[in-house]
Structure 1
Amino acid sequence: MSGPTSEGPGSEGDPAVSESGTVAEEFRQLYGAGPEGVWAAPGRVNLIGEYTDFNDGFVMPLALPHRAVAAVSRRTDQVLRLHSAEVPEGVVQLDITALEPGSGTGWAAYPAGVVWALRAAGHPVTGADVHLSSTVPTGAGLSSSAALEVVVALALNDLHGLGLTPPELAVLAQRAENAFVGVPCGIMDQMASACCTEGHALYLDTRDLSQRQVPFDLAAQGLRLLVVDTRVKHALGDGAYAERRAGCETGARALGVRALRDIPYGELPAALGRLAGQGEEVRRYVRHVVSDDHRVERTIALLDAGDLRAVGPVLVEGHASLRDDLRVSCPELDLVVSTAMASGALGARMTGGGFGGSAIVLVEESDAEAVTKSVEEAFAAAGLTAPRVFPAVPSGGAHRVR
């Protein structure tokens, strides 16, 4: 099984190293003694394959340099103390024996859910003192919650000597989000945070969690992948993810398959015909998922052939499907894509759950500045908050920093 060990690079090239001293000192000030260790886990951006992971399909995320860093020490009692550098509310104190699904709220539910999931799986986890700091933008569709879950899971795995592999930690982190927090997410975010390797995209089969690290060296081909955080999140997205998941499950049942990944792309027209009685909404969802699985397969073939530029049109197709069939885009995301393409980008699409969040833009290195400026000017002309634009640098997965 591929994926990094918990012992990470530990070098000055690791962006988490420079943060670890600060996080450790903040831990000391909070709890009166230094931590037993410091760990880091990244956010992710998804190149292609959206809303496919909970349909047992294929995805291709890459880890970002932005990461959650956790300083952690074990306790001998059942007290869990949690603190975030980004949240002003102070230390949250919980009794781990009282943790149960739905009992946590706010940011602390994510790390608390990991403790619950580990204990529910029979692992001998005691209380802990935890201090967290994260550079993963929240609300941007870049998996800030998965980074929190995975970094805490890895820290407790190391401290308690549980011997869990990165994929096993990802599954437990997903269970924390599904069952404890109550978000019905698929496995992609946690697997990306736990298992990605530097300089690669992760080609993941979400049914059996088989994976392949695919070289993704944009700079070598004179390319850049930009992330455009629109800084918006529309209320329409509340509950929309769960509704679409339910619609996909309805389509799979009607087609007599375990999951939509079992519908071959070549059989999609016939499958849609069999769904005539299910309503247009279910048919649209099915069309998106089956076609996006196919887009992942097309993308992996292009990457294997070294033809990164040809991935651009596949991204644009993916955005059209998310916009028109799944209907999870929004005016701001559409503005990024249309402006970028009009300014010479090779491809662009929304990424993540939608209704705001981020888009990705594939550009020639020489065009990156001009495309960025065009998108910023388009937002200004529309009276929108300036977007945050930064390059997606394929980075390593979760690891121990010190």
Structure 2
Amino acid sequence: MKLKVMFLFACLFLSIGIAIAQSSNATGRVLSAEDNEPIVGATVQIEGTDTGTITDLDGKFTINVPSSAQILVISFIGMETQKINIKEKNRTDLTIKLKPTAEVLDEVLVTGTYGSAKKLGSIVGSVVAIRSDKIENRPSANFADALQGQVAGLQVYTSSGEPSEGVSMRLRGIGSINSSNEPLFILDGSPISGGAFTAINPSDIENVTVLKDASSTSIYGSRAANGVVVITTKRGRGAKPTVSIKGQYGFSEPALPTTRMMTTSQYYDLWKTISPNADFSIIRKYMDMGISTDWQSYLMKDNAPTWQLDASITGVANNTNYFISASHYDQDGVEPASGMRRETLRSNIDTKVFDWLRVGVNLGLSYEDYETNNFATKGNNPYNVATLSRWALP
């Protein structure tokens, strides 16, 4: 009997020893690879199981690991997940350093700034982004013309066909009777007016983001009540300098005429009926000479040329990113005494002076030389016909 009791106790102690040998604690610390600061709330989990823990304020953790476990999985939002083989390492003092991951950081939106985040519309109800290839390949003096048809609910229109004419924009119609209905325009973080669009080279634009909902006021304030158009210009990229030269050529012509012009005699009879006492001697003179000019066909150009030449260099040198571009744009209007010429120069340079300090300069210079046709704005009267006659005829 005594022998059996001793044998029972020996088996009991043996089973306890086996149970203890089947698991043990693993301890360690999770740090950031960038600055060696502790990561609070990182997940430490045994691979293939639901067993896990999180790090404390000092980045430390303790986890009970079965003897059969081999891999610990350490993860944190914005960091690369790392796996540790605990069979090959000392379990009592592990040091794990996690690196930041660009893929996850792409989903982060920093609010309260003038919008350089890649996911600018993450918290805005309605957002549309237009990439540079949708803009730069459309020859136009005003890049806003290239936005036509790209954004639902965005109306882009001009009051005339003059090359130098500015544009007006409306997002989802008119929102005010007495106040402005223009959206808020942001260029590289600074508010601008729509009149500055003709001074911007479309080839310098990286992307245009249109925030259409009134909820964008949470970022830009009450000025964003009519929507926001965020314009971002290009920055330096690539390890080596990249030189780009591009040219475009096109021509413009009037749309198909929708009305038939009057002859000289018809025009004379019209004004004689409207104002019998006026002096129409010059029109009468042309009519007696048998001159009847179709002014629309005579004055309008059928192939008004448009051409543009762009040159740029971009790259990264040491801690400096640079993008430098120059452009020449020349467009003739289809009407006489109508056209625009523009020269632009842009330099976007930033450099990292210290780990905590980055400085840069965004410089944009533009020179515009244009002429506008005033005949259409003077009205259709016989005195303007006389002016046209002296300009067109010997």
- TM-score exceeds 0.5: no
Looking at CA atoms only, which structure, 1 or 2, has the larger radius of gyration? 2
In terms of fraction of residues, the more helix-rich structure is 1
Greater RCO structure (CA 8 Å; 6+ sep): 1
Normalising to structure 1: TM-score of the pair?
0.21
